[in-house]
């Protein structure tokens, strides 16, 4: 078994704190602890004193009851045994693929995508068939194409909805189509829904929860909630035995959540506070997207793109001949700004720009990107 480096995460982990302008993030400007605690909730936020008195011992391995109960509210009909609290959505994805896949299994993987699950599937020795979203149709999913990729031995179908990097939110027809396809072969579905709730306009993206039994939904507080530093995510499945299995792997990976982070996550998922947080996210997206779109349009035919439905990410095709890795390196070295090259999603000629930061930061970062591109 050999897991290849996760190029995008290597790039971000290495440089995102080293640049003056970080446009590589896919979520919104994170909340501070103070801002989180100041938000109104149905139940009071922990006081400073309560936070300071949290014992820094090992927590309940699968997640403490108060957090479990709040996450369960998001998945109607679920109880604590349907949910494992993890170290970010990333750990939930990691454990799910570890449990579901064996060497030789066949996986259908939506692309472009956050490449973690594709890389892991490869690493566990599975055969991965990419299922491309289509640029010509505004990054829609072709369900007939999915049908043609499925095989009797397809073990897993992997989708990310809303999608990273396109920001596309796929609707009910998509969910029904994927479920119908999975039913034919008995494949599992791994639905990464970490951007759900980060819609800029329009309805909340439909979940796979409640639509299929051989399902794991992964999610967390990093994107729609603007709380990636809490490192709190989860896996939810109708199949309690699967969740138990994921927990047994979690004993090998991170053991348990961190108690202070769990307390803050429980606070964030208070129903009223959650609504306020998601409202803040929408407001940031609505304020900032026009800045990025105007910037791109000012440059005429240089870029083609479809504005995202969700997530603080703009996925741009650019018309210069320069490779996206070279371009990203030049941006970093010449103008101290970080973007994600399309190459990290297997799509050269594209770049992903995160527009969820402060408006001033975004304006200056974009001006710097333009300066480099003008010099090409
Ligand atoms: C689709 C998707 N899933 C999971 C993750 C990892 O998120 P977390 O911070 O919850 O581990 C990301 C991060 O960019 C992502 O884009």
Per-residue pLDDT of the chain (376 residues; tens, 9 = 90+): 789 999 999 999 999 999 999 999 999 999 999 999 999 999 999 999 999 999 999 999 999 999 999 999 999 999 999 999 999 999 999 999 999 999 999 999 999 999 999 999 999 999 999 999 999 999 999 999 999 999 999 999 999 999 999 999 999 999 999 999 999 999 999 999 999 999 999 899 999 999 999 999 999 999 999 999 999 999 999 999 999 999 999 999 999 999 999 999 999 999 999 999 999 999 999 999 999 999 999 999 999 999 999 999 999 999 999 999 999 999 999 999 999 999 999 999 999 999 999 999 999 999 999 999 999 9
Ligand 1 pocket mutation, candidates 109, 190, 223, criterion most atoms within 8 A of CB: 223
Q: DSSP letter at 62?
A: T
In three-state secondary structure terms, 109 is strand
H helices of 101-256, where? 116-123, 143-149, 172-185, 240-253
Q: Ligand 1 center to residue 232 CA distance, Å?
A: 11
CA nearest 362: which of 354, 350, 374? 354
pLDDT reported for residue 173: 98
CA of 216 to the centre of ligand 1 (A): 15
What is residue 373's predicted lDDT score, i.e. its pLDDT?
A: 97
Q: What residue ranges define each of the domains in the chain, with the CATH number in brackets?
A: 7-33+274-375 (3.90.1150.10), 57-270 (3.40.640.10)
- Residues with Cβ within 8 Å of 209's Cβ and at least 6 positions away in sequence, in order, are 75, 76, 78, 215, 217, 236
Residues 6+ apart with CB under 8 A from 364: 21
| Minimum-distance ligand 1 atom for the alpha carbon of 27 | 14
Answer yes or no: are the C-beta atoms of 170 and 161 closer than 8 Å: yes
Six token digits for residue 182: 């999975």
- CA dist list (Å): 344 to 28, 46, 65, 120, 147: 21, 40, 38, 15, 27
CB of 230 within 6 A of ligand 1: the answer is no
Residue 299: per-residue pLDDT:
97
262 ligand 1 Cβ < 6 A: no
Question: Does the C-beta of 90 come closer than 6 Å to ligand 1?
Answer: yes
Cβ(165) to ligand 1 under 6 A?
no
What's the pLDDT score for residue 54? 98
Q: Is the CB of 220 under 6 A from ligand 1?
A: yes
Ligand 1 atom 15: the closest Cα is on which residue? 114
- Give the atom of ligand 1 at the shortest distance from the alpha carbon of 87: 11
pLDDT score of 1 = 79
Work out which ligand 1 atom sits closest to the CA atom of 228.
9
Whole-number pLDDT of residue 359: 96
Q: Please tell me the predicted confidence (pLDDT) of residue 202.
A: 86
Name which of 376, 368, 351 is nearest 24 in CA terms: 351
């Amino acid at each position: 078994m050999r897991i290849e480096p996760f190029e995008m995460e290597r790039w971000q982990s290495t440089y995102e704190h080293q640049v003056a302008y970080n446009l590589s993030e896919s979520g919104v400007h994170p909340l501070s602890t103070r801002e989180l605690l100041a938000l109104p909730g149905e139940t009071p936020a922990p006081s400073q004193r309560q936070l300071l008195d949290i014992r820094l011992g090992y927590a309940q391995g699968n997640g403490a009851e108060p957090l479990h109960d709040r996450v369960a509210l998001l998945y109607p009909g679920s109880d604590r045994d349907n949910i494992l609290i993890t170290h970010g959505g990333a750990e939930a994805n990691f454990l799910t693929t570890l449990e579901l896949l064996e060497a030789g299994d066949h996986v259908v993987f939506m692309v472009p995508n956050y490449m973690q699950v594709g890389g892991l599937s490869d690493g566990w020795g599975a055969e991965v068939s990419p299922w491309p979203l289509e640029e010509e149709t505004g990054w829609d999913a072709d369900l007939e194409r999915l049908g043609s990729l499925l095989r009797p031995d397809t073990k897993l179908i992997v989708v990310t909805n809303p999608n990273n990097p396109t920001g596309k939110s796929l609707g009910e027809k998509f969910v029904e189509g994927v479920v119908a396809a999975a039913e034919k072969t008995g494949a599992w579905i791994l639905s990464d829904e970490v951007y759900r709730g980060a819609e800029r306009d329009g309805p909340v993206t439909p979940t796979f929860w409640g639509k299929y039994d051989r399902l794991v939904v992964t999610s967390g507080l990093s994107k729609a909630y603007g709380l990636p530093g809490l490192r709190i995510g989860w896996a939810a499945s109708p199949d309690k035995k699967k969740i138990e299995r994921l927990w047994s792997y979690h004993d090998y990976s991170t053991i348990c959540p961190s108690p202070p982070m769990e307390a803050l996550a429980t606070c964030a998922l208070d129903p009223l506070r959650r609504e306020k947080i998601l409202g803040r996210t929408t407001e940031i997206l609505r304020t900032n997207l026009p800045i990025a779109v105007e910037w791109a349009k000012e440059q005429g035919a240089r870029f083609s793109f479809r504005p995202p439905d969700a997530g603080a990410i703009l996925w741009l095709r650019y018309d210069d001949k320069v490779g996206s890795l070279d371009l990203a390196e030049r941006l970093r070295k010449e103008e101290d700004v970080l973007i994600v090259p399309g190459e990290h999603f297997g799509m050269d000629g594209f770049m992903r720009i995160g527009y969820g930061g402060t408006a001033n930061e975004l304006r200056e970062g974009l001006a710097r990107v333009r300066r480099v591109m003008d010099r090409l």
